[in-house]
Amino acid sequence: MIITGNNLAEISKVKDFLKSKFKIKDLGELKYFLGIEIVKTKNGICMNQRKYCLELLSEFGMLGSKPMATPLESNSVLNSDETEDDKKLDDISQYQRLVGKLIYLTLTRPDISYSIQCLSQYMHSPLQSHVKAAFRVLRYLKGNPGAGIQIIRNPGMNNLYAYSDADWGKCLGTRRSVSGYCLYLCGSLISWKSKKQPTVSRSSTESEYRSLAAATCEIIWVVKLLADLKVTNLLPVKLLCDNKSALLLAANPVFHERSKHFETDVHVVREKNLTGVIKTDYIDTTKQVADIFTKSLNKSQHKLLCNKLGIFNVYKDKIEGGC
């Protein structure tokens, strides 16, 4: 159990109450919880799963492997078509175990969210190419096993904003698009998702709009959660998108014939836009942070967006600082 707050006296009261009811052991300041290590830095804290990542690499014999700069090849797309050179696996248990462990690693590694989202779609019938892609992710982790999310210390929690993006018709088998979004609170990443959309979109505008709707629902949940923690003055939340057609649709009160088939998502985004919960705005594609959740990128762009996500390796900086 984690107990947090800004009043040490009240925290002590809670601990004393728990001790009176249960047999508990006070482990002191938070350092390790459910495989996640919390390290204090000069700017805040860094949450990482270094020990878990190294154990994962050791389990699959990848500690001595050559590191990769990206989790997947640039613009690569996985599919389920079996060929003579790409057969289905006889034993899928190892693949399922590996992907399952990688899914837990995404708690502090948003940079692998898209690749794990792709790999998890083939848990029931993986091909040899899927195993190869999964081991490439391990080689990527080998290059930076101590990386994690940095939460920056900020006294004024009044700046919440989000990025939303989509890749139209990404899945070759179903032609469904991939949605991606991420939320920042005072410059710190607090929520993110990469997921294949449940239905086929007939245009890039539709796929982008569905992603906006998913991001809007996440924003509503986060705003209500922060309100319970007495954090207010967050509205309107800026929602950044790189598709001008989707932004115009969000601001247009008139339904067009081409948007009737996804009017539920239109209602969600438009209603929250009109009531001031969100404020949609345009951002250039080259600056779209959510791009890392919808496609595999080249080395330079992947590294740039990782920095914008706030991915930080406290161990690497300590070693370099001590040399």
pLDDT tens digits, residue range 213-253? Answer: 999 999 999 999 999 988 888 999 999 999 888 888 777 75
Hey, what CATH topology would domain 155-283 get? Nucleotidyltransferase; domain 5 (3.30.420)
For residues 117 and 30, give the distance between their C-alpha atoms in angstroms, rounded to a whole number: 30
**The pair of three-digit structure tokens given for residue 254, joined into one six-digit string:** 């008139």
Strand partners for 88: 127
Please report which confidence band the pLDDT of residue 265 belongs to, taking 50, 70 and 90 as the band edges: low
Strand pairing class (147-152; 311-313): antiparallel
The DSSP symbol for 205 reads H
One-letter amino acid at 2 equals: I
pLDDT at residue 198, as a whole number: 86
Q: At what angle do helices 204-228 and 263-274 cross, to 10 degrees?
A: 50
Domain ranges of the chain: 8-44, 47-148+300-322, 155-283
Taking all residues of the chain, what is their mean pLDDT, rounded to a whole number?
88
At 159-188, the pLDDT tens digits run: 899 999 999 888 777 889 999 999 999 999
Cβ atoms of residues 184 and 154 within 8 Å = no
- Please state, in angstroms and rounded to a whole number, the distance separating the CA atoms of residues 111 and 215: 18
What is the structure's pLDDT at 322? 41
Write the Ramachandran bin of 310: left for phi over 0, alpha for psi from -120 to 50, otherwise beta.
left
pLDDT at res. 321: 43
Helix (H, G, I), strand (E, B) or coil at 46: strand
Indicate the pTM of the whole model: 0.88
- Residues 27-85: tens digit of each pLDDT: 888 999 998 999 988 888 999 999 999 999 999 999 999 999 999 998 888 888 888 88
